[in-house]
Amino acid sequence: MKINATVPRMTTPIEEKVYQKLKVRTGMVTVSDGKSKPQSVRLHLSMEILRLQKEVPLDQNSAKSLHSKERMVQIRRQAEGGLGLSIKGGAEHKLPILISRIYKDQAADRTGELFVGDAIVKVNGEYITACPHDDAVNILRNAGDIVVLTVKHYKAATPFLQKQLHKDLNSDSTPSKDFDMEADWKSSEGSDDHSSTHSKSDENTRWVDIVTLPLMMAYVTRYIFGTDKLRPNSFEVRGLNGVSTGIIHCDDSAILSQWLKYITDNIVSLTHLQMKLYNRNFNQSDRIEYMGWVNESILTNKHPWQSYKPRFLTLKGTDLLLFDTPPLNIGDWSKCSVVYKVYQTMFRVVKESENVDERQHCFLIQTSGQESRYLSVETRQELLRIENAWQCSVCTAVMKLGSTTFTVNSNGKTWGLTLDWNLGFTLHEVDSKTPVWQYKFSQLRGSSDDANSKMKLHFQDNDLKVIETKELECPNLQSLLFCMHAFLTAKVASVDPAFLSSIVP
């Protein structure tokens, strides 16, 4: 019976959206440590783990042990084709539930870990060894979109399963499940015919993991570590736990692009899922808008930047945080040593003509009183994700802040200049708060400053339509300018109803 029914979801809506994007792929590549000659390995990308595997020979005892060992395999059901496998057997035949066919390029086949002759012991942790055939079919049909099978390979079962499959494929009639399975099973157990879905060489070898790298909050890089130099047709994946794949070499740029996309898509989706799970513990105004790896270089005018350090960047509530290692629990969020308020910080994408070295997709983080931070990411798409998240964070931060006041001088007297989300600009007496003048943000037509302490604000009067210029002096001018830019950015962003609805609970 082929398992291909549409089933109710058992994953959460958040997890379901993520898992729909995840890729499962295998392929041959070469890998090296960057110095020695590359060695051929198999790259196995599952939903949450990247494995580098090598083929090793098995002695007779090891082969028997491998076939008798239980394995856990995760499958994501496809909209068409379901799990992509057929089963036979059941308690009424005094047989286990056996995988009798695996459909090419469908879900089971893409795992690379399921074979004809595997007996299904558990479905999502629940035993089905005592189930009749039809009950097993129903359990698999209703197991959800992400299904974890515990299987055990029975080498002796493969010949009679292949024999029956051959009959079914060459018959005009509907494949039958009513043949004498028990008799064929007993016959096969005593047979010397060891044919299976594997070749003879496959029966005497197996793929062994040499590197196992969890993809959650991992990152992919094409650069030689710590530099601005790209590796030709090669890349490296670094994991949260410090594990590295080594340098993975591809035959051509097309294969390289495919692997980069598949692996990056899985990492981004899983990191996004972790971000959503974290946000369940935070208030709406403190939620995480972005988290991911960047590479940072220290800003200096003395020499070109050549040294880069991985940093984990997050935008959370009103804060931009830079970690050396990603936060693994809620408590870690309070231990970050580099924290900026987004409404006091400028984010600027660096134009290609302004790049100081061969690193691409760069941006600057600038805040008052501190050195600018020059950072880069691997792709244009990642840079756009950060830029969009920054707009959301600024809007959330400004709306949460509400208003802020700066001490300024005008006409030889000290005043307070308040930026207010609802009222706009207000110049008032410091003590009494009595307004001297007030303009909405929409009335601002321009500004200029001397990069020191003096600035001019040009407002348009709503009634007379004339431009009025206000000259001010502020000892903390850069901080005022950054905050003013944040309020204006948030006001512009909030005009878009779709954007506003995305940040309002």
* pLDDT over 70 at 75, yes or no: yes
The whole model's pTM is what? 0.71
The predicted pLDDT at position 197 comes to 39
* Token pair 């006091």 in the structure block, residue: 344
> In the predicted model, what is the mean pLDDT of residues 63-76?
72
Instruction: Provide the pLDDT confidence category of residue 236 given band limits of 50, 70 and 90.
Output: very high
Does the pLDDT of residue 174 top 80, yes or no? no
- Rounded distance, CA 29 to CA 211, Å? 14
Confidence at residue 11, expressed as pLDDT on a 0 to 100 scale: 43
Two tokens, residue 155: 């080498």
First vs last C-alpha separation in the chain: 47
Average pLDDT on 409-432 reads 93
Q: Flag whether pLDDT at 19 surpasses 80.
A: no
Query: Does residue 275 surpass a pLDDT of 70?
Result: yes
Give dist(CA 385, CA 491) in Å, integer: 20
Interval 464-486 mean pLDDT: 92
State mean pLDDT over 497-503.
49
| Closest by Cα among 244, 203, 207 to 27 | 207
What confidence score (pLDDT) does residue 140 get?
A: 93
CA angle 298, 286, 214 (to 5 degrees): 65
Long-range contacts made by residues 180-186, C-beta under 8 angstroms, separation at least 24?
181/88, 181/89, 181/93, 181/95, 182/93, 182/94, 182/95, 184/160, 185/93, 185/95, 185/156, 185/157, 185/160
Contact predicate 152/68, CB 8 Å: yes
DSSP state of 398: H
Q: What CA–CA distance (Å, rounded) separates 198 from 115?
A: 8
In angstroms, the CA 127 to CA 151 distance is: 11
**Residue 79: predicted pLDDT:** 82
pLDDT at site 498: 55
Residue 409: strand, helix, or coil: strand
Q: What is the pLDDT of residue 65?
A: 53
Least confident of 182-186, 260-264, 453-457: 182-186
Q: What is the pLDDT of residues 315-373, one digit of tens each?
A: 999 999 999 999 988 889 988 989 999 999 999 999 999 888 899 999 999 998 888 89
Half-sphere exposure of 97 (CA within 13 A, CB side): 27
Cα–Cα distance between 42 and 211 in angstroms, integer?
11
Mean pLDDT of 211-229: 92
What does the mean pLDDT of the chain come to?
Answer: 82
| Greater pLDDT, 443 or 57 | 443
Domain architecture of the chain: domains with CATH: 59-203 (2.30.42.10), 251-400 (2.30.29.30), 403-477 (2.30.29.30)
Q: Point out the least confidently predicted range of 106-115, 122-131, 484-493.
A: 106-115
Report which of 306, 282, 304 is spatially closest to residue 400, judged by C-alpha positions.
Answer: 282
CB-count exposure of residue 178 (10 Å: 0-12, 13-18, 19+): exposed
Is residue 206 predicted with pLDDT exceeding 80?
Answer: no
Question: pLDDT grade, residue 153 (50/70/90)?
Answer: confident
Q: What pLDDT does residue 193 have?
A: 38
pLDDT of residue 70: 84
Q: For residue 304, how many other CB atoms are within 10 A of its CB?
A: 10
Q: Compare 237 and 240 and report the one with higher pLDDT.
A: 237
**Amino acid at the residue 294:** V
CA-CA distance, 83 to 87, in Å (whole number)?
A: 11
CA 426 to each of CA 294, 421, 437: distance values in angstroms, whole numbers, following the listed order: 39, 11, 6
